[in-house]
Chains A and B, each alone.
Chain A
Amino acid sequence: MSGTFVGMPAFPEAARAAVDDATLRGNLRHATHTIRAKRAGAVAELADWAELREAGRRIKDHTLRHLDRYLEQLEASVTAAGGTVHWAADADEANRIVARLVEETGESEVVKVKSMATQEIGLNEALEAEGIRAYETDLAELIVQLGKDRPSHILVPAIHRNRGEIREIFAHEMAAWGRPAPENLTDTPADLAEAARLHLREKFLRARVGVSGANFMVAETGTLVVVESEGNGRMCLTLPETLISVVGIEKIVPTWRDLEVFLQTLPRSSTAERMNPYTSMWTGTTDEDGPRAFHLVLLDNGRTDALADQVGRQALRCIRCSACLNVCPVYERAGGHAYGSVYPGPIGAILSPQLRGTGSEIDASLPYASSLCGACYEVCPVAIDIPEVLVHLRERVVEGGPAVRGGNKVVLRPAKGHAAERAAMRAAAWAFGHPGALGTGQRLASRSRRLHPRTLPGPGRAWSHTRDLPTLPAEPFRDWWQRTRGGKDAK
């Protein structure tokens, strides 16, 4: 039987392909487990982790609840420091602004720091259409760009590629983009990194326009912050004459002092380091140091729609540390590409349907791309209750109701009735109506860590297994949980 509900097959089908790909699964598994273990150690070093997490949550919540005020303050402080602020309501407008700014410099190529916002709006493709070539300079982004691929992880976008594959990509593709890979390139990480260094250095040294995102913007001072490891960020932020930063409007913190919270929680949550190798902070322009022109493009592109959702807006607290990806049993199996968005994993499952709406198949299916085990909430350094938002979005998909799209109030129609999602809703509703089951099933990260289902858990399992949907999960969530965990553990 084929699915009749418009939204269903997208994530599960994409995920099924990934689950069948043994190399991908091996790479992902190695990566997520390695980072996960290291992160726990880095967090344990700080006795006040719970307090830092709470402060981070409150700072971001407060900022979001008064976002208009902080946006105006930020605009004023960036302008006073010599920068120029532009506002972009959607992806097209942001791309047009950036393309125009590049054209005004007379240049036809730009160097880019890895940025999720520019991926979200498809900036590279838009610039290409205007005859402007954008070079990704983060090593992993370079691997992705040369491999004509898409990123699969927020932090390590080429996590799905192993060293042999990377060697092949470099050897075959570098020449078309600039300096070719050295002859007799081996697949050792040091050799591969050296090849990237040589290939990109010639671009950095001649670049006249840099494009970046930012991890934080300080309203009080107009300071932007970029956190990175390799130094490609520093190259792009300081060597060109013009710097254009495209940043989501939710990335604000009110005061300079607030950075003391996030500069402690972000590195430890993401790369499990006490501090990432490089952090750059700049405020407008500085005479004789760095770019002479600085443009900040403030991006909405669905963020205000998410802000209008009182349950869902907490997703805008996200600082993109990627900790939630690394603990997610669904992500580990399905891989980042299955989420059909630059935001994969648990955060992607709640952010994408809010930024883009639930009109497409993939977006309507994303709220189901989870086992609701709660591990993502446990690790999140700004305490986003991802399971709560998932269930809220499932309700919206199935029952419809009021929402805001493109700044306008709309009433969403319920998705067409379908046994699978009704069963899915019953399972979720049951679990949320039974605090005991919720407690054991949802919020025990230690237990979820032992869950390694061969197929997707939850409704995803049904979809990835079989299309005979009507007969499937008509049993209580807890029984289903017990049954599928037993015997399905990958040893």
Chain B
Amino acid sequence: MNSRERILGRVRRALADVPAGERPYEEAVPRDYLREHGERTVEESVDLLAENLADYRAIVHRADAADLPLLITRLLAARGAEEVLVPPGLPDWWMTAADPVRIHDRAELTPQRLDRVGSVVTGCAVAIAETGTLVLDGSPDQGRRRISLIPDHHICVVRVPSQVVASVPQALERLAPTRPLTWISGPSATSDIELDRVEGVHGPRTLEVILLDG
């Protein structure tokens, strides 16, 4: 007997007390918790997102389409970035004013090569107001998971209000489990040393979020 059968056999014997016609999943799990906490207008949700992002030490900016290229340029310049990593499908117009050399993430690039790039600019799939979370799903404007991980400085552009949801349940509804997903709430952090929060251990130490109107 192989281990698969042995384990499944043990499970079945262990569950001999469970009646055959037990309530199915749909009835066994009550869903009387809230879909969203509190009632907010769309604008209020965006404000809450900004507040919660900032509370977890992300730096939040607001821009409309006219300001965006200049804002990105300014943020990259402030970091002294010479190269900036971009996913393949990042809208070209976001970067029209940017000076740094754009490094396009291709599969052949080694992690060591990516490690020499200081900044990355991505879009996102969904942002969650109640928790201050950005979710990336690997779409062309977000790229492979590694590009938002290795550079020390991540600029993430969120289209508001269309990409903003209030809550975790609403976010899961919008996401496809077949895609690789990265949920980001603030910059990398640790509290392992006497519970003092320190930003940035392995992921980007600086997370800048641009809430893009319209």
Among the listed A221, A249, A273, A308, which residue makes an inter-chain contact with B13, where contact means beta carbons less than 8 Å apart? A308
Query: Are B11 and A307 touching (Cβ within 8 A)?
Result: yes
Given the complex of chains A and B, what is the CA–CA distance between A341 and B130 in angstroms?
Answer: 37
A81 within 8 Å of B by Cβ? yes
Nearest A residue to B16 by beta-carbon distance? A308
B10 within 8 Å of A by Cβ? yes
Given the complex of chains A and B, what is the CA–CA distance between A116 and B188 in angstroms?
Answer: 22
What would 8 more interface pairs be, CB under 8 Å, given A230-B203, A249-B11, A300-B3?
Answer: A62-B28, A62-B29, A68-B12, A71-B7, A271-B191, A276-B185, A305-B10, A308-B13
Query: Are B201 and A71 touching (Cβ within 8 A)?
Result: no
Q: How far is the CB of A152 from chain B (nearest CB, A)?
A: 12
Instruction: Give 1 or 0 for each of B163-203: 1 = CB within 8 Å of chain A CB.
Output: 00000110010000111111111111111111110101111
Among the listed A143, A230, A232, A307, which residue makes an inter-chain contact with B15, where contact means beta carbons less than 8 Å apart? A307
Most buried by B among A35, A261, A264, A288: A264
Enumerate A136-171 residues with CB–CB distance to B below 8 Å.
137-140, 143, 156, 158, 162-163, 166
B18 within 8 Å of A by Cβ? yes
Nearest A residue to B196 by beta-carbon distance? A189
Enumerate A46-78 residues with CB–CB distance to B below 8 Å.
46-48, 51-52, 54-55, 58-59, 61-62, 65-68, 71-72
Nearest A residue to B6 by beta-carbon distance? A89
B56 within 8 Å of A by Cβ? yes
Query: Are B14 and A308 touching (Cβ within 8 A)?
Result: yes
Enumerate A229-267 residues with CB–CB distance to B below 8 Å.
229-232, 234-235, 237-239, 249, 254-261, 263-264
List chain B residues, Cβ under 8 A from A71. 7-8, 11
Query: Are B194 and A189 touching (Cβ within 8 A)?
Result: yes
Q: How far is the CB of B50 from chain A (nearest CB, A)?
A: 14
B111 within 8 Å of A by Cβ? yes
Tier of interface size on chain B: 35 or more
Query: Are B25 and A62 touching (Cβ within 8 A)?
Result: yes
Among the listed B10, B14, B28, B179, which residue makes an inter-chain contact with A286, where contact means beta carbons less than 8 Å apart? B179
Query: Are A234 and B182 touching (Cβ within 8 A)?
Result: yes
B33 within 8 Å of A by Cβ? yes
| Contact A275 to B200, CB < 8 A, known contacts A143-B192, A260-B169 | no
B37 within 8 Å of A by Cβ? yes
Among the listed B13, B184, B195, which residue makes an inter-chain contact with A30, where contact means beta carbons less than 8 Å apart? B195
Given the complex of chains A and B, what is the CA–CA distance between A229 and B190 in angstroms?
Answer: 6
Given the complex of chains A and B, what is the CA–CA distance between A290 and B185 in angstroms?
Answer: 21
List chain A residues, Cβ under 8 A from B204. 231
Query: Are B172 and A229 touching (Cβ within 8 A)?
Result: no
Enumerate B17-62 residues with CB–CB distance to A below 8 Å.
17-18, 22, 25, 28-34, 37, 52, 56
A84 within 8 Å of B by Cβ? no
Query: Are A87 and B2 touching (Cβ within 8 A)?
Result: yes
Q: How far is the CB of A238 from chain B (nearest CB, A)?
A: 4
Among the listed A68, A89, A275, A278, which residue makes an inter-chain contact with B188, where contact means beta carbons less than 8 Å apart? A278
List chain A residues, Cβ under 8 A from B66. none
Instruction: Give 1 or 0 for each of A427-451: 1 = CB within 8 Å of chain B CB.
Output: 0000000000000000000000000
A105 within 8 Å of B by Cβ? no
Query: Are B146 and A89 touching (Cβ within 8 A)?
Result: no
Among the listed B11, B56, B149, B182, which residue makes an inter-chain contact with A304, where contact means beta carbons less than 8 Å apart? B11
Nearest A residue to B202 by beta-carbon distance? A231
Instruction: Give 1 or 0 for each of B139-167: 1 = CB within 8 Å of chain A CB.
Output: 00000111001000000000000000000
Among listed A2-10, A192-200, A362-370, interface-contacting one: A192-200
Query: Are B111 and A277 touching (Cβ within 8 A)?
Result: no
List chain A residues, Cβ under 8 A from B146. 238-239, 289-290
A93 within 8 Å of B by Cβ? yes
Enumerate A184-211 residues with CB–CB distance to B below 8 Å.
189-190, 192-193, 196-197, 200-201, 204-206
B131 within 8 Å of A by Cβ? yes
Query: Are B3 and A231 touching (Cβ within 8 A)?
Result: no
| Contact A156 to B34, CB < 8 A, known contacts A230-B190, A308-B13 | no
Query: Are A281 and B11 touching (Cβ within 8 A)?
Result: no
List chain A residues, Cβ under 8 A from B132. 274-275
Q: How far is the CB of A408 from chain B (nearest CB, A)?
A: 9
List chain A residues, Cβ under 8 A from B144. 238, 288-290
B64 within 8 Å of A by Cβ? no
Q: How far is the CB of B114 from chain A (nearest CB, A)?
A: 9
Nearest 7 interchain pairs by C-beta = A231-B203, A231-B202, A308-B14, A304-B10, A279-B183, A51-B33, A275-B131
A282 within 8 Å of B by Cβ? yes
Q: How far is the CB of B146 from chain A (nearest CB, A)?
A: 5
List chain B residues, Cβ under 8 A from A45. 37
Query: Are B183 and A88 touching (Cβ within 8 A)?
Result: no
List chain B residues, Cβ under 8 A from A88. 3
Q: How far is the CB of A43 from chain B (nearest CB, A)?
A: 12
Query: Are A205 and B202 touching (Cβ within 8 A)?
Result: no
Q: How far is the CB of A422 from chain B (nearest CB, A)?
A: 30
Query: Are A230 and B202 touching (Cβ within 8 A)?
Result: yes
List chain B residues, Cβ under 8 A from A308. 10, 13-14
Q: How far is the CB of A334 from chain B (nearest CB, A)?
A: 20
Q: How far is the CB of B47 from chain A (nearest CB, A)?
A: 16
Query: Are A230 and B182 touching (Cβ within 8 A)?
Result: no
Given the complex of chains A and B, what is the CA–CA distance between A13 and B104 in angstroms?
Answer: 60
A407 within 8 Å of B by Cβ? yes
A360 within 8 Å of B by Cβ? no
Instruction: Give 1 or 0 for each of A296-323: 1 = CB within 8 Å of chain B CB.
Output: 0010100011011010010000000000
